[in-house]
Structure 1
Amino acid sequence: MPPIPDAPVPDAPVPDAPVAAVPAGAASWRAGLAALAAGAPAAAVPLLQAAVAAGEGGGLAALNLGLALMQLGRLAEAVPALEAAARALPAHAEPPFRLATIAGLRGEAGRAEALFRRALACDPGHVPALAALAALDEEAGRIAAAAAGISAARALDPDEPELDVAAARLALRQGDLPETIRRAEAVLARRPAHAGAARLLAEALLREAGEEQALRALAGRAAADPAAAGWALAAAGIHAAAGRPAAALAELRAAAALAPEETEIQAALGLALADAGRGQEAEPLLRAAIAARPTDLDLRNRLATVLWKQHRLCAMLEVLEAAVADFGPQPILLMNRALALNALGEQASALEAAEAAVAHPAGGPAALMTRMSVLPYQGDAAALLAAARAVGDRLGPAAPPPARPRDPDRPLRIGLLSGGLGQHPVGWLTLAGLEALPEPEFELLAYSLKPRQDAMAARFRARCALWREVAALDDAVLAARMAADGIDILLDLGGYGDGGRPGLVPRKPAPVIVKWVGMQNASMGLDGLDWMLTDQWETPSGYERFYTERLLRLPDGYVCYAPPPAAPEVVPLPALARGHITFGCFNNLAKVTPRVLDAWARILAALPEARLVLRTHALGERATATRVRDRLARHGLPSDRVALEGGVPHQALLAAYGGIDIALDPFPYTGGLTVCEALWMGVPVVTLAGDSFCGRHALSHLSNTGLADWAAADEAAYVALAIDRARDLPGLAALRAGLRARVAASPLTDAPRFGRALSAALRRAWRNWCDTATPL
């Protein structure tokens, strides 16, 4: 259950009499109540705690202590105080009402409802409890009961704007657009910066008149009342719904300038900045909004995601753990905690958090998908298949595909769904091959889940006949849009990763759906996903048992690497000048498992002069580096021989390979783009091939360049291989000198060759559908 929406919750202290009438001897009670009345809950808490301990104020001291703690967002601490107040004041409505509010914030809908009803039993005219019960009824789809509750509350307090907002929301839900607009505008007339009313007005105008007319109507209202922030807020909502985040952000900035004191507007601006990838601007706004509204779970969670995008993983965990303490183990917090722990390389704890989200009654498909984001870093192919099937079972059977002419040889419309259509692993591993598809036969249509403005994004745009920014569209709307665009084959380039849309697949927006790159780490287990684009190394014969998809094997590797045109030149083997080998791993910490650390410790123990360099963005956060350093020590890696380096721009990252002799690939989730980049920079890669798709990425790339002998079958062989190659400096130097030319001449970077293979594979998948589909 989400937090109670827009229910009026009084935050004034609850005295038993005017403050001046408090007995003179009750010093802590008097001072605590005065501090709370003055809007200083932090100062009130220790005074009210002292009052409770001294028996001053009776149950009202405990009640006001609970209220102060709630205002500070310290919900877990507030509960015992409120429970004590409820025992001391059994006929008072406020203790059960406050406990109900906390239960609602913690996602405990049944408990919240029972407590709200207890409050009403104490005081049938308790307006906030009536409004909160109506909100619960609305959330559960009991619209008639919700409307009755709001009507009863408005009869008691006709001037409360939140009740009008609730009535407007119900009218919108019932499709009564004129009533929604009337009520929302009535609220904005009294409170010109009311964000909830502005959002409802935007949605109602958009539904009633369409985008252009809605914006024109708002412009007219703004011209008549230019100081009211609500019109800009509503316009921002329309721009956001239409997929114009920049225009929405501009309107939010205008609204924030008009009403700088409105916390909700500042929060909305912070959220929009976060969505635009401007985390440094978003963070102070979100932190200020949280300080003003500490019981807003969404703000806490969104701050955590801002920190995630900045690779500040320990700071993210701190926010999430505080939120769990206050709001309880709600699925969204558990899921993000799982992602943070995984990104720190604490895979077992991450999986434990993901499993807790799965077990939660409100976990739903999102929790199952989060588990699929975490499990590849420690699970084998069988475990991944079982987890993927659980997602597929939850999402259900696929819808019928859209009708298309069953001509096996006609030109095809290929959809690309991804948030990585630019300088991103998806771009580096797919673009050259897509550009090589013959244009008369394959028309490309892009559905971008994240705006990108870089040279590679420009190349994607140049190759695509249609480009849509679709991040704001839900799965149903996006599937309908794709079907209307006439997609024949959809290439899913997101999977269960950040920004992916697994829920779109069963909606079957195209007759044929193929998984390729973009968190391509295992079977997705989804009905409606027809093929997995692969090769002989990723999925040898017999591996079909690990996939619900059919395997669409290419004759060479399954990707086509596009080397950066301005990559630095390969430098001579650094060990020749240093006198010792330097190993390196530039993968993210999620891939650095305990098994990997144990193997690396054995390698360094056998080579006392060797060094190891770990480089990834997360290591730029001091707390993360300290946490990782401690973990390395527990696995026997000497701190004086392991360097931890943060992220750098891409050109500098490539240049950093100039200091690495051999790359040590992690497992069971092996490197993909990192392997290609290391090879391009003259650095060979030692890998261990597993049985999952992600466990064989490096094997595929190495085999595709004639370096299959750098892949080991188990950990002992991995350690022995690294030691053996490190002792052959002449061999390493010779390999390094010719490695870029070798990669350039290999199928890994041969775009025309890959384009022909991809063309044949897509045509094969299409012909298979034409042969098996029911005639139109």
Structure 2
Amino acid sequence: MEAEPRGPALHRGREPRPPMGEASGRADPGSAARSPWRAGLAALAGGAPEAALPLLRRAMEAGEGGGLAPLNLGLALMQLGRLDDAVPALEAAMRAMPAHAEPPFRLGTIAGLRGDPAAAEALLRAALARDPGHVPALAALAALEEEAGCIEAAGAIIDRARAIDPAEPELDVTAARLALRREDPTAAIAAAGAVLARRPAHAGAARLFARAWHRRDGAEAALEAVARRATADPLTAGWALAAAELQAMGGNPAAALAELRTAAMLAPEAAEIRAALGLALADAGRGAEAEPLLREAIAARPTDLGLRNRLATVLWARHRPCAMLAVLEEAIRAFGPQPILLMNRALALNVLGEQQAALEAAEVAAAHRGGGAEAAMTRMAVLPYHPERGHAAALLAAGREAASRLGPAAAPPARPRDPDRRLRIGLLSGGLGRHPVGWLTLAGLEALPEAGFELAAYSLKRREDEMSARFRARCALWREVGHRDDAAIAAQMAEDGIDILLDLGGYGDGGRPGLVQRRPAPVQVKWVGMQNASMGLDGLDWMLTDARETPPGFERFYAERLLRLPDGYVCYTPPPGAPPVAPLPALARGHVTFGCFNNLAKVTPRVLAAWARILAALPEARLVLLTHVLGEAAARERVQERLAAHGLPEARVTLAGGVPHGALLATYADIDIALDPFPYTGGLTVCEALWMGVPVVTLAGDSFCARHALSHLGNVGLPDWVAESEADYVALALARAHDLPGLAALRAGLRARVAASPLTDAPRFGQALAAALRHAWRDWCARPTGP
């Protein structure tokens, strides 16, 4: 379970204007042919900035156009999204035209887009010193004040700009947004409505109109108000956009998507609506449909960082990390090393197995002045995979650093301190279905005694499958809360009377550590879902674990108290309909085939070195790597280079992309021995390999994630498949590969062994989980006051 990429960055910027100069858009064909300056202006005015570039450069070399030539060159580069390249041209224009406001305004816009508000403010004020009535500079300065939290100052600047240019709709949009932040929804409705009267397809105004009406009169009244307007004016796209916003706010993504499709049909030429539709499709997990719309939107609005970042997250969801990196690296060249881009670059590099580069990107983001808690959380998401630095002590320190940026935990809510009453257990997760969280928790939760425990689910990601249906059936309360912020979810949990919260997300996979710090329940426990180390949060009381994951003495690695179960810390649900265990393939082939079906983030250089030693000692052996990322051709090429660098022979290593779950299980028929990666070992992959009759060679470390396989193998009675060093790992793999009769016998009985073990014994696990949760509750009840 990897961390998910960080969501869209929101950056407001004005798109470059048409070319500046007296010849703007008026050059006749003959003069354009004779003059690079006029030809460049004509190309720029005609919407061909790429064609304008060489012409404007030639004009600068010839001295044509004066300072307007580098200014328009800068505008052309901005239109292409090449912000870094635009800066020298705009600086040249600023020197050449000391009284002209446009060069410093454009430079200030770029500084703001590149995450330098101090430089942006200085340049914008320089523009206003040259032209106090420069409305775009005033609007940009107001946006900076707003982002700094100075709402009244921003409002005063916008009022000044509106007095100069009362017809500019973007000023009214900003005024509506500011009114909403001042808790004046009536003023926001008026300002946004004024924009929609002039520009019926303005997406930003429609969203603000919907939010303001919702804020003032509530969800039902807001929908009715929008519906009345749509009935009266059915061809106005803005009302469909407003309805889409209200449906999304209400947690109805399908209805929101339908409204956006209506808006797109009503205004097919509106790039902003198509962008909104692309974003909604992305949020709905329909990346194949979202990608072309987002690329089109980026071409129309190249200075929108949020669109580029959202495209990157779509490519992530489609298991195309190399394509994701290309988008991010182009954005970094344009916008500079902004934290949101570096965080997602770290995740893309990590999933390709480039742990060192991933950690470096995450640490640069964490050190950036704008990185904040999100950057520290991203660092915590990639650090466990690092071959040298992903040890337990370092992970605890990183968790505490992330926690410090989130702020101290809130006081717990009051609950009746009855140690024996029925408890309401909250489940916070985006994986309540066919997901590793589901496979490793569902059976145990179903077996939790209902007389003592009621379950309430807070689902961060809607899932519709047979496992999610089982979760719903077991839960007395089910809430879809992924669209709500931490404060709203925490308030809902407190209102629902949650006694014990089980966090099933951690620092990745859509987790909400900020919500945990709000402490919506008096007792809070970490379990599964990026459970790779201590989270370092003072809002977490316990880590659900077992004696193999955290033997005595490991307490020093955890900020949480260790709540040990007597067997393993998970209960595996074997997949129904799994194919039968096949005979040992080595008996027919005459050679051993090793396999690793883990994500590449776990495949470190030290793992590759160990595998190379194993294959070198077994000249006929083969290795199969299967994971979703390897379905991307560029990723396969990149991984193949790493394999070759470590001496792994290309002809003996198969790289395969992801397949449906049933086909993945069937592929184990071709595998004799699974080679577990390290230091982040397999969790669900180990359980699945064992169920399919394939034993796993693993190496145990000191972090929680370095001991997953150790726990599962010990739980099924195979502790002798666990190595204590890399040399032992290689020796163990070779010894097992040389004992084909032993492998065949083990394989034949392994599924029955797993089925009879505590790993899949749901009633046994349910009783153990009940005892552990009751212990944690009684511990809290015994405290006279406080958490």
TM-score by length of 2: 0.97
- Secondary structure, counterpart of 1:663 in structure 2: strand
Q: Which has the higher contact order (CA 8 A, sep 6+)?
A: 2
CA shift digits 1:333-391 (9 cap, x unpaired):
00000000000000000000000000100000000000010000011001101100101
5 Å-filtered alignment, 1:432-451, equals 432-451=443-462
5 Å-filtered alignment, 1:285-684, equals 285-378=293-386, 379-684=390-695
Contact 2:9 2:340 in 1 (8 A): no
CA distance in 2, matches of 1:25, 1:235: 51
The amino acid across from 1:286 in the alignment is: L
1:192 pairs with one of 200, 212, 215? 200
- Secondary structure, counterpart of 2:218 in structure 1: helix
User: Who is 2:122 aligned against?
Assistant: 114
CA shift digits 1:654-694 (9 cap, x unpaired):
00000000000000000000000000000000000000000
User: Who is 1:49 aligned against?
Assistant: 57
Cα distance, 1:10–1:646 mapped onto 2, change above 3 Å: closer
CA shift digits 1:425-469 (9 cap, x unpaired):
000000000000111211000000111010000000000011111
CA shift digits 1:237-277 (9 cap, x unpaired):
11111111111111111111111111111111111111111
Query: Is 2:774 the counterpart of 1:763?
Result: yes
Contact 1:412 1:442 in 2 (8 A): yes
CA distance in 2, matches of 1:415, 1:775: 20
2:190 pairs with one of 174, 182, 185? 182
Displacement after TM superposition at 1:20 (Å): 4.9
Contact 1:613 1:644 in 2 (8 A): yes
Cα distance, 1:773–1:70 mapped onto 2, change above 3 Å: farther
The amino acid across from 1:395 in the alignment is: L
Cα distance, 1:119–1:92 mapped onto 2, change above 3 Å: same
Contact 1:2 1:107 in 2 (8 A): no
Displacement after TM superposition at 1:173 (Å): 1.1
Cα distance, 1:97–1:2 mapped onto 2, change above 3 Å: farther
The amino acid across from 2:624 in the alignment is: V
- Secondary structure, counterpart of 2:759 in structure 1: helix
Contact 2:425 2:500 in 1 (8 A): yes
User: Who is 1:15 aligned against?
Assistant: 21
User: Who is 2:4 aligned against?
Assistant: none
Displacement after TM superposition at 1:55 (Å): 2.2
- Secondary structure, counterpart of 2:525 in structure 1: strand
Displacement after TM superposition at 1:54 (Å): 2.4
Structure 1 unaligned segments of length 5 or more: list them: none
Displacement after TM superposition at 1:775 (Å): 8.4
1:82 pairs with one of 81, 87, 90? 90
Contact 1:514 1:531 in 2 (8 A): yes
CA distance in 1, matches of 2:658, 2:10: 38
User: Who is 1:280 aligned against?
Assistant: 288
Cα distance, 1:179–1:142 mapped onto 2, change above 3 Å: same
User: Who is 2:172 aligned against?
Assistant: 164
Contact 1:3 1:105 in 2 (8 A): no
CA distance in 1, matches of 2:32, 2:401: 65
CA shift digits 1:171-230 (9 cap, x unpaired):
111111111111111110111111111111111111111111110111000000000111
Contact 2:412 2:786 in 1 (8 A): no
2:67 pairs with one of 59, 63, 79? 59
Contact 2:121 2:144 in 1 (8 A): yes
**How many pairs does the alignment contain?**
775
The amino acid across from 1:15 in the alignment is: G
Contact 1:8 1:162 in 2 (8 A): no
Contact 1:168 1:181 in 2 (8 A): yes
CA distance in 1, matches of 2:204, 2:163: 21
1:155 pairs with one of 136, 158, 163? 163
CA distance in 2, matches of 1:392, 1:144: 32
CA distance in 2, matches of 1:20, 1:406: 82
5 Å-filtered alignment, 1:2-41, equals 5=12, 11-16=17-22, 19-20=26-27, 27-41=35-49
- Secondary structure, counterpart of 1:772 in structure 2: coil
Structure 1 stretch 210-219 or stretch 17-26: which is displaced more? Answer: 17-26
User: Who is 1:234 aligned against?
Assistant: 242
The amino acid across from 1:649 in the alignment is: P
User: Who is 2:5 aligned against?
Assistant: none
Contact 2:377 2:507 in 1 (8 A): yes
Contact 1:702 1:710 in 2 (8 A): yes
Displacement after TM superposition at 1:91 (Å): 1.2
CA distance in 1, matches of 2:23, 2:316: 49
CA distance in 1, matches of 2:538, 2:374: 17
CA distance in 1, matches of 2:379, 2:250: 32
Query: Is 2:257 the counterpart of 1:246?
Result: no
User: Who is 2:697 aligned against?
Assistant: 686
